[in-house]
């Protein structure tokens, strides 16, 4: 009796393969190269946000390439299979140490600082879905409906986020070089 396999289409927005790097400092990413300018801009958003959240992440060491040597990596392989709403990265993190902006001394990575980078990656996903003007309501429902709680208005339970939230979002976008 023949076996029928039914493939279910999965909407995968991100694939991040994490590796340790033996020669470079800091954390940095590799990403794929695309022809469409909008997709190039959308792919650059996550590394830019991560650079804002993680002092040990180097945007200047991040690169987008199509190297033949990297053709068999998860990032390149899946990048060729998935649709244009998916982004595939390799997050490389130094085996040894990192340098923060303005510093000349390398700081050794520890278990705690690796964990902190992981938490900063998680924060970056939150920022990506909350602040990214290039994402058009594809955010998970629980993030779309969440409201940043601030002081309540005289204890009446109403949140007071209006103008402050809008101003903060505009400042974030400008500081990250994100185009509207």
Tell me which residues are annotated as active site.
92
Complete DSSP assignment for the chain: -PPP--PPP----EEEEEEEESSS-SEEEEE---SSHHHHHHHHHHHHHHHHH-TTB-STT-EE---GGGTTSHHHHHHHHS-TT-EEEEEEEESSEE--TT--S-EE--HHHHHHHHHHHHHHHHHHHHH-TT--S-S-HHHHS------BSTTSS-B--HHHHHHHHHHHHHHTT---
């Amino acid at each position: 009796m023949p076996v029928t396999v039914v493939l279910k289409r999965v909407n995968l927005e991100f694939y991040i393969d994490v590796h340790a790097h033996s020669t470079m400092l800091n954390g940095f990413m590799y990403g794929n190269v695309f022809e469409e300018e909008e997709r190039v801009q959308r792919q650059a958003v996550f590394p830019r946000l991560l650079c804002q959240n993680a002092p040990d992440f180097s945007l200047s060491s991040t690169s987008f390439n199509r190297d033949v040597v990297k053709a068999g990596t998860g990032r390149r392989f899946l990048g060729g299979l998935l649709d244009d709403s998916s982004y595939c990265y390799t997050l490389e993190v130094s085996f040894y140490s990192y340098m923060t902006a303005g510093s000349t001394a390398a700081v050794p990575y520890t278990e705690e600082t690796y964990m902190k980078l992981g938490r900063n990656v998680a924060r970056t996903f939150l920022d990506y879905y909350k602040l990214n003007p290039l994402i058009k309501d594809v955010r998970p429902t629980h993030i779309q409906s969440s409201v940043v709680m601030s002081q309540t208005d005289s204890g009446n339970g109403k949140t007071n986020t209006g103008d402050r939230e809008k101003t903060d979002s505009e400042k974030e976008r400008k500081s990250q070089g994100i185009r509207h």
